[in-house]
Amino acid sequence: MSKKDYSSSEEEEQEVTTNRLYVGNLAYSVSWQDLKDYMRNAGNVTYTKVLTDYYGYSKGCGIVEFETVEDAKNAVSELNDTELQGRRIFLREDREDFKSKKRETTKKEQTEGKKIYVGNLPFSMNWRELKEHFAEAGEIERANMLMSRGRPKGAGTVRFYDEESAKKAIKMFDGTKIDGREIFVKYDDFY
C-alpha cells in the first residue's frame, strides 16, 4: 500500500471536510486509549473507538473524532501510512453518518433494490475506481470495497440513488471483465 493511496496527496487532504476519521489496519491489540494517545500527535482528540465484533474482538479498525476539521486534516497528513504497534495504519474521512442512528432501523428500506454486490474484483481496486467504473449506470450514493482483517476480499458494494440505476448496472456489467477478471454483479442480499 503506497502512501498516495491513503490521503497523502493534496487532492485527498482537501476531501477531509469533517472532524471524524476512519482508521484502518489497526493491530488487534490496539485499545481505544492507545488509539487516542497516538492520534493526539495530530491534534485534540475528543472521541475514539476501536470497532469490535459481536464477541468484543477488535475488527482492526476504528473511529477518531478531533476537536476541529483542521486537526483531522493534520492527522491524515501526518499520521497516515505510519506504524502503530507494528502495523502500518491508514486514515481517511469517515464516510458513515453516525449522528443519524435512525437510519439503521430503516436501512433495508433505504437500500432495497438500490444496492448491488460486485464479486471477483481485482484485489488492487479501491472504492473510487469501483465508483468510477459503475458511474455509467447512474448516480452513485456510495461505493465500498469489502475487507477482511485489513486485506481486500476482491468484492465490493455500490449503492445507487435509485433502483433503475442498480438494475441497469447489473445488466451492463454482470459477466464483464476488469483487469482480466470476470466480475459478477447482483443485488446485495445483506443490508
DSSP label at residue 110? H
Render pLDDT for 84-141 as a digit per residue (tens, 0 to 9).
999 999 999 987 755 544 444 445 555 678 999 999 999 999 999 999 999 999 999 9
Render pLDDT for 131-185 as a digit per residue (tens, 0 to 9).
999 999 999 999 999 988 878 899 999 999 999 999 999 999 999 999 999 999 9
Hey, is 177 helix, strand or coil? Answer: strand
- The neighbouring-strand residues paired with 115 are 159
| Topology annotation, domain 105-187 | Alpha-Beta Plaits (3.30.70)
Render pLDDT for 129-141 as a digit per residue (tens, 0 to 9).
999 999 999 999 9
Evaluate whether 3-93 and 105-187 have a shared fold: yes
**Domain extent listing, the chain:** 3-93, 105-187
CA 43 to chain CA centroid, Å, is 23
| Topology annotation, domain 3-93 | Alpha-Beta Plaits (3.30.70)
Give the per-residue pLDDT at 190.
Answer: 66
